[in-house]
Amino acid sequence: AKALQSSTHMLVVPNSRCSIYSRIWCAYEAFLGYQQGKVIFTATAPISQVIRSVLLSTLISALSFALMYLLLLHLHIHIEEENVDNVRLVENVAIGLAICSLLMESIIQPGLSGKCCAATGAFGTGVYTAGNFYRAVHYVEDNWVMFTMGNAFLGLGACTSAAAAHMDNLYRLQAIEQARQLSEGYTGSLHDAKASFEIDRQAILNELDSSGVEEEVNEAI
């Protein structure tokens, strides 16, 4: 507690087995940090799957782009107004699916369903980008080339958003796990907290009882 007075920040390190706030000294020091206006950080473990998740999303977008582009080449779609409209329809469906999927990922509970939504978004953005790129390469009117190429770059930005959605899903999962660790075994009352030595526990409880801030401690934690 004395060391805390001379500090400006406080770091809370969760325990994977039980809440640190089930230990009376940890809970009391957290309250002191809150009461003294310290900047409190909660430590988090590094997420090992971030790079793999971004690479997976990028791979899905790249594969869907390649498949869509090769399919258009295989079908020998000529740039006629009717065929262009068909390609545009596919693009609009793809980007609509991607937007809906990415919005759903930000709303629903993170986990497998969130990963599926992010993957669907990556697929849709890849298809949308491929369609626009194909029209930009094969369309002969210069004004349409510039406009369509702009849409293709917009699709690349959407692919980046899909990768970010994959990362968001991982960070939200980590936040849920962190909240579980901090609340595991904590009843919400400092009276139920434990200590290695009962004399320390009683001393802290007596101090809180005499100061009348026990409810503030429970609320702060």
pLDDT digits (tens, 9 = 90+) for 126-145: 888 888 887 777 765 555 55
How many angstroms separate the CA atoms of 80 and 37, rounded? 68
Q: What is residue 131's DSSP assignment?
A: H
Q: What is the pLDDT of residues 97-110, one digit of tens each?
A: 888 888 887 787 77
Please list, in sequence order, all residues whose beta carbon lies within 8 angstroms of the beta carbon of residue 151, skipping any fewer than 6 positions away. Answer: 91, 128, 132
Please report, as a single letter, which amino acid is at residue 8. Answer: T
Say if residue 158's pLDDT is above 80: no
Predicted pLDDT of residue 139: 64
pLDDT at residue 90 tops 70 = yes
What percent of the chain clears pLDDT 90, i.e. is strictly above it? 1
Q: What angle do CA 201, 180, 204 make, to 5 degrees?
A: 10
Q: What is the pTM of this model?
A: 0.61
Beta-ladder partners of 135 = none
